[in-house]
Structure 1
């Protein structure tokens, strides 16, 4: 009932342990609100991911660095507090300079996040094919990660280093950048834009920290299975915008039916029922709590 029963510190510790000991990669679907985070937990996934692209889209904005650190922290915190799973959030460049990175890490800690990833893209970010993504030099990228590591108060807060140099520098450049980021203290490496499983294997061999894979639809690479990524040595998988795309696809089709038919009757079989929503929200626990309080008396007796 209400917020998660597990403290942020405990969630971080569990994520660390599972990342080190789990036999299969940890799966973190992207939640775009607290309700989808509760669904992710109920269906047995190991963690929750909050995508910067999903936050931007939910605010009606393209993923071009237009969201503020406060908006990201507030939305990610709303999601994190409603699930007992650890939540990892996309912090883009950390707002640019090392001091900004340090501050956003501490703000995310205070909002209950279990970790974030900081990337080596030029600030402000311009995400997506054809939007002019550019990466910073190695020194700037390393300074961002060092700032994030030094700023965290909880040593279990996960600092993930995301690198996008594959497009411009190839696999060798990715490996070189990944090693530098690990040297700066990154807990996990997130190589963006790898072409195939062989490239994931190469990065895994090159570093002594876990490697994260992003499985994003409509991108340049195949959507590999958990088993394939496990065999390549990947330890964590995020599915950034899958749920948002599913929800918006169904919403758009449904509105089309309503517009053309003048009724939503044909859509009802596809809808979540009120009973299912109540179960997901644990509505019965709220009713029981209210009844318990209503029967309480100052002398300690109950009606």
Structure 2
């Protein structure tokens, strides 16, 4: 049986767009699998949000890793872990890769911002490290991995930091040459125009990854036609979860009962199914029947 890293590597080497679902826990990862996604993005924003802390390197690497492991164990899809800016310098990056790979995570993504970082959609000034410093982190990551299949994605934040296309391209090219397996180009513009401009000038074989959070009007087919290799739907599940829970609790309090929401929420049997309770019962029946026969 191939490892999940091999699954992810094969997906990057095969035709078609890799559809990646942002998840924040085991339940969201499992539902992503059931609905046809190809991989899981262990979202730093999502993991931070469920602990109600800012996505600003507040949680430790161990806390992010523990959350990614839960997602990995909850589904059969490869997990790409959002590892912020690598949790420090090259030595932190080395330890990060050792820990994540040993835990069975298929790949990691690190970004070229300072540590601690700010979420890309935070309106405060985004500060990037030098190209040379980030290339060193990429080289450290690739040197640390044990399996050739493990994937290291370099995230370019130059467009987020308003540094322009020339800087974004120069950084992306340098990161690819440093050994990154894919380049994630990020934008917070409301149209995909600057992402399309970047892609059209990209002349390296290193695959491109995008996160169309702010420009949702571009379809998967359009991204694939542009040559994008993977598209990450990073926080839609988190935002949907927030809205659903908030609306549910508001309804219960305002209506003094759960009657108005019962038709719109899952049944307990739905929850039992995703928890594998039927399989648990089947195992118990099998074990005890065999014991009685003896």
TM band (smaller chain):
over 0.9
> Where does structure 2 lack aligned partners over 5 or more consecutive residues?
none
TM-score (norm 2): 0.93
What residue in structure 2 maps to residue 229 of structure 1?
A: 223
What residue in structure 2 maps to residue 264 of structure 1?
A: 258
Whole-angstrom CA distance in 2 between matches of 1:281 and 1:115:
26
Deviates more, 1:251-260 or 1:133-142: 251-260
For 1:162, what is the secondary structure of its paired residue? strand
Q: What CA deviation, in whole Å up to 9, does each residue of 1:179-234 have, x standing for no partner? A: 1001111001001117425224225x332111101022xx3x34421011111100
Measure how far apart 1:296 and its partner are: 3.5
Deviates more, 1:73-82 or 1:166-175: 166-175
Whole-angstrom CA distance in 1 between matches of 2:212 and 2:277:
33
TM-score (norm 1): 0.90
Q: What CA deviation, in whole Å up to 9, does each residue of 1:106-137 have, x standing for no partner? A: 11112221001011001100112313221111
Measure how far apart 1:268 and its partner are: 1.0
Cα RMSD (Å) of the superposition? 1.7
Tell me if structure 1 keeps the 8 A contact 2:169–2:198.
no
Deviates more, 1:123-132 or 1:90-99: 123-132
What residue in structure 1 maps to residue 269 of structure 2?
A: 275
What residue in structure 2 maps to residue 246 of structure 1?
A: 240
- Residue of 66, 69, 72 corresponding to 2:61: 69
What residue in structure 2 maps to residue 50 of structure 1?
A: 42
> Where does structure 1 lack aligned partners over 5 or more consecutive residues?
1-5
Q: What CA deviation, in whole Å up to 9, does each residue of 1:132-176 have, x standing for no partner? A: 221111001101111111111111111000010123321111111
What residue in structure 2 maps to residue 202 of structure 1?
A: 200
What residue in structure 1 maps to residue 79 of structure 2?
A: 87
What residue in structure 2 maps to residue 164 of structure 1?
A: 157
What residue in structure 1 maps to residue 145 of structure 2?
A: 152
Whole-angstrom CA distance in 2 between matches of 1:214 and 1:116:
15
For 2:53, what is the secondary structure of its paired residue? coil
What residue in structure 2 maps to residue 3 of structure 1?
A: none
Whole-angstrom CA distance in 2 between matches of 1:229 and 1:283:
39
- Residue of 284, 290, 294 corresponding to 1:290: 284
Whole-angstrom CA distance in 2 between matches of 1:96 and 1:119:
11
| Structure 1 stretches of at least 4 aligned residues deviating more than 3 Å after TM superposition | none
For 2:273, what is the secondary structure of its paired residue? helix
What residue in structure 1 maps to residue 173 of structure 2?
A: 179
Tell me if structure 2 keeps the 8 A contact 1:159–1:188.
yes
What residue in structure 1 maps to residue 182 of structure 2?
A: 188
For 1:62, what is the secondary structure of its paired residue? coil
Q: What CA deviation, in whole Å up to 9, does each residue of 1:213-260 have, x standing for no partner? A: 1022xx3x3442101111110010111111010011111111111121
